[in-house]
Structures are given as structure tokens and as C-alpha cells.
Structure 1
Amino acid sequence: MDDGAGRSWDPTLYAGSAAYYATGRVGYPAELAGALAGALGWDGTGRLLDVGCGPGSLTLLLAPWFAETVGLDADADMLREAERAAAAAGVRAVRWRQLRAEELPADLPPVDVVTFAQSFHWLDRPRVAATVRDMLTPGGVVVHVGATTHEGIDPDGPLPWPRPPRAEIAQLVRRRLGPARRAGQGVVTGTPGDEDAVYRAAGFTGPQRLEVPGRVVERSLDEVAASVHSLSSSAPHLFGDRFAEHDAELRALLARASPSGRFSEQMRSISLRVWRPV
């Protein structure tokens, strides 16, 4: 499907990875919601739109701060995982829409807050930024969440358990898929940057900057394996009928790295950038 601007959506981008995404990505901490609610005066009213919501990781964390929440994603499997997570958490004031961000505003009503978390770089950024600006109510904001949830960074000090052997994992993936980083039916040639310029060109001012400190998390062997399968560059469909073989080799590598099956990772801090219409 072409969005009219020469950009084609690849529905295989995360094919087969939705369940692994929900398990393998480290959840956003409660402190993230608290920092935003305190800075922006959220009080349980208003409407939130989470664009590129995936399995609802951020959507469900923020939903209690709003009267109505909409999670939007192009991937039906991701939304099924989000629905399951919402039911398990007992969150009812949220609905899910399978739409591309480029199809906004669709039939959605005005919103008070729009969030992008690990999704903006996949989009036609100028088009989507301009569209969501027009969707905001007076006083509304866009929150850009900068986070890495699939793996950690170099730790500040000793960790309770071994770190996942990320370099060896990357080597394993390259050996099976080749040196070019895969993404759906194509390859990744680089991640677009200069997001601040995109927001300003779309008519936003800011940003107001907030930060949530990083933390050390414990991860199981299953969670680390799922974190690898959650990536577009190593999604299950890329391995074809050899995925089970790849998964077994990955698990053997992890078992050698930590015979107990327990790992620790230092997660990087999360940056929150709040943009307001001019």
C-alpha cells in the first residue's frame, strides 16, 4: 500500500514477531507515566492517541490517566496482543484501531495528547506530524518517547547476572541472514534523524524535555530470546522454514552464556520530548 508520498507500507515488517515483542521488550516503568502526568497535569480526563502502539506497552501504562485512549497500529497481530494485554490488566477505557499513521485523522475525534514511542522513524514523518498537529485540542501536546527496550547498555557497575551476549547474537543473525540489516522485504539503509527539525517544520514549538533514569532489570532466557525475535531485522518470517533451527541455536548460545538462564541488563534512560503547537 502506497501512502501517496512514494512510501510503501510493508506488512511483513514485524511478521511473526508480535507475541515475542510483548514478551521480549522491557516494559516502560511506572515512573514514565508519573513524570508526564506531573509535568502536564493529567487528571484522568481527556483523550490520548498512541500512534504505532504495537502490543500496547505504552498505551496501557498511560490509559489510566485519561478518560479515553486509542491505540493505533498498522499490524493486526500487534493489536491482538494489545487486546489480550488490556483484558489481562482489566483496562477497559481503551480501543484499538488498525490504521497506518498516514491515514490519520481517519474518523478519529480531536485528542489532547498524541504519543510516539519507537514508531516515528517508520512513518512519513512530515506528513504525520502535520496531521496530528491539526488533531490536537487547544492546549494539546505531542509526546515523543525516546527509548531502547530490546537490549541494555554498558552497565555502571557489576550486575547480579551475566549480560546477554549481544555481539554473539548479532553474529548469529548475520550468519543466517547476511551482512545487510533486514527489514520486511527490504533492508535498512539508515534510521532518519533530525526529528526536532521535523516537528518544528510541522508547526510545533519546544521541546520540553523530561528524563526517566535507566535501571537494571533481570531477564530470563525466554525473554532475551524473545527480544531478538521482536526486532524487524530478525523477525521470524525472515528465517523461513529454518526459524526453529535458528531459535534452538540462539537458546543454546544463551544457555552457554548463563547456565542459570538468568540475565541482567542496564537499560538506558528514557527521554521524553513534549511538543506544543505554535
Structure 2
Amino acid sequence: MNQDVHSSTGYTNADGIFASCGAPYVTYRRPHPSAVVDYIASQFGHAPAQPRILDLGCGPGTLALDLAERGACVTAVDMSEEMLAAGRGWAKARGIRSVTWCQADATEVEALTQDTGLFDGATVADAFHWMDRPRVLEALGRAVRPGGFVAVVGYRAPGTQREWWHPLLEQLRLRWLGTVNLAGPR
């Protein structure tokens, strides 16, 4: 994929948004509950042989590596080369070799199917809010085989109350960044 294609996010430097975040994500990012990962892995039973899973907005592989440990061959896609590099290191440390790391725009994942065919499933974990959601879902509709699955995973259900510290974080954001919300397409 072309590393310079960042248009669908609307950010002029989509790769730079997460600069210096790779190592801290590996160290401090909360893992997904085993029940969530196990549920997604239970969907592998509908795939022939070793399931091919696409993980969009993968960061350093927080979900991709867990899915690979459960038997999937994962293509991990992110806009940030730094996050992908952190993921490669984390995979090596965990002894995981069934993940392919790819810097690409999430709306262009159909190109990843040209040589290997459609994916058996796709995941987007804690990253969907950064994406051009309608375009990503359209692309996934063309990249995932009929009968496959798309799992959008978030750390909290929409409409549920935010953590007690969220208003404090919001005050800091307003003070230092103004009213511009950095998440989501611009």
C-alpha cells in the first residue's frame, strides 16, 4: 500500500498523530477482556482452514496478537509506522509469527485481497472513531468474504457513562488544545 495515502482520515499527517505512542501503548494500553477475544475467535469456526483476519487501526497489535495466539493469520493495518514497528517488536517478544504488518489507509483494504483473496473476518478495536466510518464499512464489505464477520470493539458501550476522570481530561483538552476534538475524520 502507498505509505503517503492519508486522505480518507482527513488529517494532513495521519501517521504523526500517534508519534511517540508505540511503546507506551504496548506497556500501558488496557488489553481487551479475554471474553471479547474468545468471542471473536469463536467466529473462526466458520472459516476454512486457518482463518485470515484483518485488523484495522491495529496500533501495536493489542487485539491482532491475541487473535494470532488463538490461531488466526492476521493482517494488521495502521496508518502509523511507529505503531506497526512497536507491534512487530511485541510480536517478536511474544513469539508470534502469523501477523503481517501493513501501513495503509483503512478505506483501501480491498487492495490487500488482490493476491490472497477475501478475509474471513475483520476487527476494528478502539479505533473506529478515528476513521471515515461509512467508507471503511464499504471497504470491509468488499474485503470480507460472504458469511465472514466484522467486529467493532470499544472499551465502553455507546451511551454508557464515562469514567469519573473524563470531565477532568476534557478540561485539560479545552485548556491546551481548544475546542478542536482530535478524534474522528476532519
- 1:134 maps to 2:139: no
Q: Which protein is richer in helix relative to its size? A: 2
Displacement of 1:17 after TM fit?
Answer: 1.6
What is the alpha-carbon distance in structure 2 between the residues aligned to residue 36 and residue 6 of structure 1?
Answer: 26
1:153: Cα distance to partner? Answer: 3.5
CA contact (8 A) 1:63 1:93 kept: yes
Among 130, 141, 151, the residue aligned to 1:143: 151
Q: 1:172 to 1:115 in 2, by over 3 A?
A: same
Q: Which one of 176, 179, 182 corresponds to residue 178 of structure 1?
A: 176
Decide which of 76, 80, 83 is 1:78's aligned counterpart.
83
- 1:162 corresponding residue in structure 2: none
Which amino acid letter does the alignment assign opposite residue 124 of structure 1? D
Q: Residues 72 and 99 of structure 1 are in contact (CA less than 8 Å); yes or no, is this contact kept in structure 2?
A: yes
Aligned equivalents of 2:166 and 2:56: distance in 1?
Answer: 31
In structure 1, the partner of 2:181 is: 188
Given that residues 45 and 65 in structure 1 are in contact (C-alpha distance below 8 angstroms), is that contact kept between their aligned partners in structure 2?
no
**Partner of residue 97, structure 1:** 102
Q: Of 7, 10, 18, which residue of structure 2 is paired with 1:7? A: 10
Alignment of 1:234-249 (within 5 A): none
* Identity level (%): 32
Q: Which has the higher strand share?
A: 1
> Structure 2: how far apart are the matches of 1:28 and 1:69?
17
Alpha-carbon offset, residue 95 of structure 1: 0.9
In structure 1, the gaps of 5 or more residues are: 155-165, 182-186, 193-278
Secondary structure at the residue paired with 1:54?
coil
* 1:16-165 matches, cutoff 5 A: 16-38=20-42, 41=45, 45-108=50-113, 109-147=117-155, 153=163
Change (3 A) 1:105 1:38: closer
Q: Deviations over 1:87-121 (max 9, x none)?
A: 01111111100111123222333100110111111
d(CA) in 1 for partners of 2:70 and 2:12?
A: 32
* Residue pair 2:131, 2:184 contacting (<8 A) in 1 also: no
Following superposition, the deviation at residue 18 of structure 1 comes to 1.6
Q: Work out whether residues 56 and 71 of structure 1, in 8 Å CA contact, stay in contact via their aligned partners in 2.
A: yes
Judged with a 3 Å threshold, the aligned counterparts in structure 2 of structure 1 residues 116 and 6 are, in CA distance, closer, same or farther, namely: closer
Structure of greater Rg: 1
The offset of 1:128, in angstroms, is 1.3
TM-score scaled to structure 1, two decimals?
0.53
Task: Check the 8 A contact 2:9/2:131 in 1, yes or no.
Answer: no
Q: Partner amino acid for 1:53?
A: C
Q: What is the TM-score when the length of structure 2 is the normalising length? A: 0.77
2:26 alignment partner AA: A
Number of residue pairs matched by the alignment: 171
Deviations, residues 137-169 of structure 1 (Å, cap 9, x unaligned):
121110010215xxx846xxxxxxxxxxx4797
Aligned equivalents of 1:99, 1:6: Cα separation in 2:
11
Q: CA deviation at 1:25?
A: 1.2
Structure 2: runs of 5 or more not aligned: 157-161
CA pair 107-34 structure 1, distance change in 2 beyond 3 A:
closer
Give the aligned residue type for 2:181: V
- What is the deviation of 1:136? 1.2
Q: Which runs of 4+ in 1 moved over 6 A?
A: none
| Aligned residue type for 1:70 | T
